[in-house]
Amino acid sequence: MKDIFDKYLPLERRRRELFGETRDLPFALTVERLLSPTRALVGGREILLFGTNNYLGLTFDPAAIEAGIRALREWGTGTTGSRIANGTYVLHRQLEQAFARFLDRGTAIVFTTGYQANLATISGLAGPRDVILVDADSHASIYDGCRLSGATVIRFRHNDPEDLDRRLSRLGEVEGSVLVVVEGLYSMLGDVAPLPELCAVVRRHGAWLLVDEAHSFGVYGARGRGLAEAQGVEREVHFVAGTFSKSLGAVGGFAASDHPRFELLRIAARPYMFTASPSPATMASVLAILERIGREPELRSRLWDNARRLHAGLAELGFTLGAPVSPVVAVVLPDERTAVRAWQRLLAEGVYVNLALPPGTPGRRSLLRASVSAAHEPEEIETALATFARIGRELDLVAPRP
């Protein structure tokens, strides 16, 4: 009988080819201490953090920390079970009501992780008689939710309303319903969905639309509700999902809708029914951060100032960037080995970004992915740009100084 891990031999070989025997791997990097939302100790050295998705920089928010501590003392460390088994804490209800108010939706449901939010919402909304059309560049949690649903799954070209229209037109008679799933801000390249055009297609075909606002929540829109708010189509989006682990600075997820029967997911979505519910400290801290996002639009202003500064600086240096300005700034590199080398050199020089390699990247591109935070100071962005410039010249990625 074969070793149960033999199926991963190609993956193991590829890892060795790219990284050798070094421990300098993205998943092996150990943060010894967080000094702030933008700085950490790694290997005893202070590192600038440009790969955290901490868009609003609120992980050290004093009110959120104090709320979490109070919840720990009053409610303990965890819920030790699912809500369908162990019941609902008042904090669950308070947080769901807060999300419903913030999003101006009839119902909101909270989940233990953002991954679970997509897994539960998609598999709860769609079943074997339904059809799901999913943007080709969607997150793994979306694809896994589609698989769990048992629905027929059809991919359409990334951010292409015309391709979605063609594929919907070819469906013919569908026994059940049709669900279209897209993201707001796509996390690899930093591009956004053309929601008005997609909504028009969905409306014309009588389908349902779910938008995953994981990376766009708190970032887009006058009130921070996401890309649908920013593009003026909130009422045409039937379901919205998102995560606590980006702008909300915690771990968890949410989904919301105006559909009067949305609560049925609580007894229909297996990932919700059979997963332990969010911890008291998490719910309390997210309540505090959600309230702050609502009252401080200047957080978004600082974030966008920083995003424009980093994007413009990298473009001026001559790097190829993946998309127009957004809080995700992706540098496209010529191949995997160059990307790995550049990532290692940046880390050695004190700047941490995300390394993103095929097959989990759009178009199988090799990327260095930076995420900007409202907490970044201008001098930190200038330091990152200077480091990118040195590494770029060293690896012949940008032109030398005249």
Q: Please give the CATH number for the structural domain made up of 6-59+297-394.
A: 3.90.1150.10
The stretch 102-125 carries a mean pLDDT of: 98
pLDDT digits (tens, 9 = 90+) for 377-390: 999 999 999 999 99
Per-residue pLDDT, averaged over 14-31, amounts to 77
> Which tens digit of pLDDT belongs to each residue from 303-323?
999 999 999 999 999 999 999
Average pLDDT in the 143-164 region? 98
pLDDT of residue 21: 66
Q: What percent of the chain has pLDDT over 90?
A: 93
C-alpha 117/C-alpha 250 separation (Å) is 14
Q: Which two tokens stand for residue 80?
A: 């030790």
- Mean residue pLDDT across the chain: 96
**What pLDDT score does 398 carry?**
87
pLDDT in tens, 254-272: 999 999 999 999 999 999 9
Interval 320-371: pLDDT, tens: 999 999 999 999 999 999 999 999 999 999 999 999 999 989 999 999 999 9
How far is it, in rounded angstroms, from Cα 371 to Cα 361? 16
**What number is the average pLDDT over the span 23-34?**
80
**Is the confidence at residue 131, as pLDDT, over 80?**
yes
Q: What is the pLDDT of residue 20?
A: 77
As annotated, the active-site residues are 187, 215, 246
- pLDDT tens-digit series, residues 193-244: 999 999 999 999 999 999 999 999 999 999 999 999 999 999 999 999 999 9
Token duo for residue 111? 């989940």
> What pTM was computed for the model?
0.96
Mean pLDDT of 386-399: 94
Domain segments of the chain: what residues?
6-59+297-394, 77-295
Looking at residue 29, its pLDDT comes to 84
Third-level CATH fold of 77-295: Aspartate Aminotransferase; domain 2 (3.40.640)
